[in-house]
């Protein structure tokens, strides 16, 4: 029986062929924790009397939500992870000294590679599927189990084949593709399934686009998102000190899928997800016609805080000014991205336009700090969720968009088509 790429990755890890629906015990190549969820995992680890990590080199902790600490509680929370990392001499521990949002930082460091099985106590761990790996979010106690045993239990997911056709138009990105998919199938349309992205469009999508698409697979209810290894993946990895030798897998031509979706990407406009669900998608043309006034434009997060996002924002904002009624906040995904953007002149352009650049953090995305919305405020944001109260006040509204839309909207003061 023929297999999908996801079934092949799991088969390689358990040593025999497995198929969708099977329950398996599988070794894990990389376990990822952060400053919010890892302290719960550490407590569970210690409560059962564990004294040794099963795979120390396959465990990373990235302090990225409230770092530098926003208050006493977050400072104490971070210290739990710092003390644990020091006690167990963890080599893959990242805080202020090497900052980054976990799902941007780990690919940058070469710690997640094609063919891996990856878990993290963060729902957007599915980002790493862009490298041709199986990557998914789990709970903190699941993380503790993996810390102790080196593995975990999985139900091998069915796959939805997403066939993307055509070359994207200017300012149509991976973010727009995944928002369109979520609009089509809903926030529960891919429950416990893998979104496997295929088709002629893939060769036109950068790794940044692919990371965005896989990142938001969870917003369709998916267990994971995945893009098979190709020349673009190879080029991305060529300068990385990879933690392991990549293992390359491809779906068989006659593999079994639960569903096949086809999208004409060449005809796709940038997509705006209106409040209060990522599935509430509309064309940017409609959004512009609706004349949606904004108080804040946000460019960043694990979805869209990469160098290409800062580049397009700088191109649009060069020589322009942010509207007097708008706050523009830019959050690079990692320190490396920030430094590269500075060298290329993007940061000067963004600041000259009236933007403010923060440290790498998840803070604004989840309404923690560095960009909280007040009562009845409206934001256009490159983040991944727009639930009630997601970025601050429960009466605020978040419109999800790509970075070009966010930059153009910052200039005009309302959601604007950048084309």
Average pLDDT, whole number, for the chain?
97
Q: Is position 417 within any domain?
A: no
**How many structural domains compose the chain?**
2
Q: Which CATH number characterizes residue 407's domain?
A: 3.30.499.10
Q: Is position 346 within any domain?
A: yes
Structure tokens, 379: 């934001």
> Which pLDDT score is estimated for 175?
98
One domain, residues 135 and 167: yes
One domain, residues 302 and 402: yes
One domain, residues 39 and 77: yes
Whether the pLDDT of residue 322 is over 90: the answer is yes
89-132 residue pLDDT tens: 999 999 988 899 999 999 999 999 999 999 999 999 999 999 99
Q: Which of 212, 404, 407 is nearest to 294 (CA)?
A: 407
Of the residues 231, 263, 295, the one at which a domain ends: 263
> Which pLDDT score is estimated for 97?
87
One domain, residues 249 and 355: no
> Which pLDDT score is estimated for 239?
94
296-321 residue pLDDT tens: 999 999 999 999 999 999 999 999 99
- Confidence category of residue 201, pLDDT binned at 50, 70, 90: very high
Whether the pLDDT of residue 237 is over 90: the answer is yes
Q: Is position 370 within any domain?
A: yes
One domain, residues 135 and 171: yes
Q: Is position 304 within any domain?
A: yes
Of the residues 210, 232, 263, the one at which a domain ends: 263
One domain, residues 238 and 344: no
One domain, residues 256 and 326: no
One domain, residues 85 and 212: yes
First CA to last CA distance, the chain: 47
One domain, residues 205 and 338: no
Q: Is position 3 within any domain?
A: no
One domain, residues 400 and 364: yes
Judging by beta carbons within 10 Å of its beta carbon (0-12, 13-18, 19+), is residue 342 exposed, middle or buried? middle
- With beta carbons less than 8 A apart as the criterion, state whether 383 and 391 touch: yes
Percent of the residues in the chain that have a pLDDT greater than 90, as a whole number:
99
Q: Is position 34 within any domain?
A: yes
- Confidence category of residue 1, pLDDT binned at 50, 70, 90: confident
47-84 residue pLDDT tens: 999 999 999 999 999 999 999 999 999 999 999 999 99
- Confidence category of residue 328, pLDDT binned at 50, 70, 90: very high
12-31 residue pLDDT tens: 999 999 999 999 999 999 99
According to DSSP, the residues that pair with 137 across neighbouring strands are 120
Q: Is position 335 within any domain?
A: yes
What residues make up the domain containing 361? 272-412
Mean pLDDT for 375-404 is 97
Q: Which residues contact 49 (CB under 8 A, 6 or more apart)?
A: none
- Confidence category of residue 194, pLDDT binned at 50, 70, 90: very high
One domain, residues 115 and 193: yes
Whether the pLDDT of residue 347 is over 90: the answer is yes
One domain, residues 363 and 383: yes
Degrees to nearest 5, angle at CA 75 with 71 and 78 = 140
Of the residues 202, 235, 263, the one at which a domain ends: 263
């Amino acid at each position: 029986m023929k297999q999908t790429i996801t079934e092949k990755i799991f088969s390689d890890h358990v040593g025999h062929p497995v198929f969708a629906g099977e329950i398996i015990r599988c070794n894990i190549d990389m376990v990822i924790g952060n400053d919010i969820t890892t302290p719960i995992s550490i407590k569970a680890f210690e409560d059962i009397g564990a004294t040794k990590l099963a795979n120390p080199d396959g465990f990373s902790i990235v302090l990225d939500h409230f770092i530098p600490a926003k208050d006493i509680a977050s400072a104490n929370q971070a210290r739990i992870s710092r003390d644990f990392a020091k006690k167990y001499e963890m080599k893959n521990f990242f805080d202020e000294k090497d900052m980054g949002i976990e799902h941007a930082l780990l690919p940058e460091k070469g710690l997640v590679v094609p063919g891996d099985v990856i878990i993290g106590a963060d729902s957007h761990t599915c980002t790493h599927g862009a490298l041709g790996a199986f990557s998914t979010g789990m709970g903190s106690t699941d993380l503790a189990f993996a810390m102790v045993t080196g593995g975990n239990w999985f139900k091998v997911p069915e796959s939805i084949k997403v066939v993307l056709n055509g070359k994207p138009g200017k300012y149509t990105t991976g973010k727009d593709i995944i928002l369109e998919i979520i609009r089509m199938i809903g926030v529960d349309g891919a429950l416990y399934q893998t979104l496997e992205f295929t088709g002629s469009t893939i060769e036109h999508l950068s790794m940044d686009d692919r990371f965005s698409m896989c990142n938001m697979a969870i917003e369709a209810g998916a267990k994971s998102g995945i893009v098979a290894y190709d020349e673009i993946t190879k080029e991305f990895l060529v300068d990385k000190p990879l933690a392991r030798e990549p293992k390359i897998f491809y779906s068989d031509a006659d593999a079994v899928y639960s569903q096949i979706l086809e999208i004409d990407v060449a005809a796709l406009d940038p997509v705006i997800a209106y409040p209060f669900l990522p599935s509430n998608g509309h064309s940017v043309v409609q959004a512009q016609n609706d004349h949606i006034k904004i108080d804040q434009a946000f460019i960043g997060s694990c979805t869209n805080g990469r160098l290409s996002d800062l580049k397009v924002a700088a191109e649009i904002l060069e020589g322009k000014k942010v509207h007097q009624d708008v706050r523009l906040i830019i959050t690079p995904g990692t320190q490396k991205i920030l430094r590269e953007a500075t060298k290329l002149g993007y940061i000067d352009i963004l600041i000259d336009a009236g933007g403010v650049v923060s440290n790498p953090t998840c803070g604004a995305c989840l309404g923690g700090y560095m960009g909280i919305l007040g009562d009845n405020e409206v934001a256009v944001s490159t983040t991944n969720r727009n639930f009630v109260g997601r970025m601050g006040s429960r009466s605020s509204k978040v419109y999800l968009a790509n970075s070009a839309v966010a930059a153009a909207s910052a200039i005009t003061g309302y959601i604007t088509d950048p084309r």
